[in-house]
Structure 1
Amino acid sequence: MNTITIEGELRSEFGKKATRQIRSEEKVPCVIYGGAEVVNFSAPAKAFKNLVYTAAFQVAAIKLGAKTYRAVVKDLQFDVVTDELAHIDFMELVEDKPVSVTVPIKLVGQSVGVKAGGKLVSKLKALKVKALPKFLVENIEVNIDNLELNGNIRVEDVKLEGVEIVNSPRIPIASVVMTRQLRQEESAAEKEGKKK
């Protein structure tokens, strides 16, 4: 799994004045929850670029002095006026503690429905999952080889070892719909069949 290393420094001062000072230095105030202690720190805004501005699910290795914390982004806040990153909440990855995260879906394979002339429609980009850190994956691969024309793959069709999927089981992930051309060809074939 892709890991982004972020070097930061522990925060000793809190409150609006201290937070404004951090932001004026182009740093982002952050907090890490979920571990043995709550850790407040700050790091340069540009250090978060590859972690925040991507659809990929990644782990952050946050270096604060001699200690490194493995964590995932839990919440982001942006400035309403400037749209700059204002605050990040991280959830520390603790081996025996399940964590809830959103993981992107990756469709793999060649759908039989598409080969028959249908059009693949992706309906869900990511799944909400709950798992121990060792079971977390960069993306959830969903095989569409057996997806037929007018067929759906639903959340309930995805099975992952050690991972609980939180989304509603009946939500479609992908479907193959009939294209206009295929419909025209079918109706033309029906009309041809009736003439004979």
Structure 2
Amino acid sequence: MKSITINGSKRESVGKGATKALRNAGKVPCVVYGGDDTIHFSAEGNDFNSLVYTPDVHTVVIALEDGTNINAVLQDIQFHPVTDEILHIDFYQIFDDKPVTMEIPVRVVGNARGVRNGGVLRIIMRTLRVKGLPGNLPDFIEVDITEMKIGHKKYVTSVASDDFTILHTDNTVICQVRTSRTAIVDEEEEEDEDAEGEEGAEGEESGAEGGEETAEAPAES
């Protein structure tokens, strides 16, 4: 998984006045949980753009002025209700030998057969919550929809991996191809239906011929 480095400075004071002064200076107050100690720090607001304003997911290396590097993941973020300015960020410290839970983006690839026939692709889960060792977590989870026909669904079981555990029930749908007014029947399905229709017609003809022979048979006296 890709990593982003954030250069930060430890906060000596965490009161409202100090926090307001940081924000006025264009900095974001942050806190890191999960380690031996809770660490309060601040960083330039622009440094978080590539972490927050992206569909991708990253781990973070928090590089403090005293030379300490902390590996972490973004846990929670607070925005201003009007300006959308970042007000506060919570991080969770991670370790190579301890599983971590993260939201991993879903990436759909391929052109579904059902969509080519006029169906509509509906993506239900754009991220999946998974748990695993940091080194085993992917940048994204790929879902191949090429063979999906109209009415087909992709469940989380189709992207299961030994590297991580998906924290959703097995019947959770990632995406599906739904019918529409412009949808047409798949060519293979048409062939199957034609074959079944021919077999049925032959059966009806045989039955009709048998009925005529019975009707023409002379009655015994």
TM class by shorter-chain length?
0.7 to 0.9
Aligned residue for 1:101, secondary structure, equals: strand
Instruction: Tell me how far 1:116 sits from its aligned partner.
Output: 3.7
**Superposition pairs of residues 1-196 of structure 1, within 5 angstroms:** 1-65=1-65, 66-182=67-183
Counterpart Cα distance in 2 of 1:144 and 1:163: 22
Counterpart Cα distance in 2 of 1:137 and 1:54: 16
Q: Deviations over 1:70-105 (max 9, x none)?
A: 211100011234321010001112112111111110
Instruction: Tell me how far 1:183 sits from its aligned partner.
Output: 5.3
Instruction: Tell me how far 1:48 sits from its aligned partner.
Output: 0.5
Counterpart Cα distance in 1 of 2:116 and 2:106: 22
Counterpart Cα distance in 2 of 1:112 and 1:82: 43
Moved over 3 A (4+): none
Instruction: Tell me how far 1:148 sits from its aligned partner.
Output: 2.1
Instruction: Tell me how far 1:16 sits from its aligned partner.
Output: 0.9
Q: Deviations over 1:152-191 (max 9, x none)?
A: 001232212221111232221111122312259xxxx99x
Aligned to 2:202: none
Asked whether the equivalents of residues 151 and 176 of structure 2 are also in contact (C-alpha less than 8 Å), the reply is yes
Asked whether the equivalents of residues 135 and 161 of structure 1 are also in contact (C-alpha less than 8 Å), the reply is no
Q: Deviations over 1:79-135 (max 9, x none)?
A: 234321010001112112111111110012332323444332211111011111111
Counterpart Cα distance in 2 of 1:114 and 1:10: 53
Instruction: Tell me how far 1:52 sits from its aligned partner.
Output: 0.8
Question: Could you tell me the percent identity over the aligned residues?
Answer: 39
Asked whether the equivalents of residues 35 and 94 of structure 1 are also in contact (C-alpha less than 8 Å), the reply is no
Q: Write the letter of the residue equivalent to 1:72.
A: V
Counterpart Cα distance in 2 of 1:124 and 1:17: 41
After superposing the two structures, state which structure 1 stretch, 162-171 or 8-17, moved more.
162-171
- Aligned CA RMSD, in angstroms, stands at 2.4
Q: Write the letter of the residue equivalent to 1:147.
A: M
Larger Rg: 2
Give 5+ residue unaligned stretches, structure 2.
198-221
Give 5+ residue unaligned stretches, structure 1.
none
In the superposition, the TM-score normalised over structure 1's length comes to: 0.87
Counterpart Cα distance in 1 of 2:81 and 2:110: 41
In the superposition, the TM-score normalised over structure 2's length comes to: 0.78
| Structure having the larger proportion of residues in strand | 1
| Structure having the larger proportion of residues in helix | 2
Aligned residue for 2:157, secondary structure, equals: helix
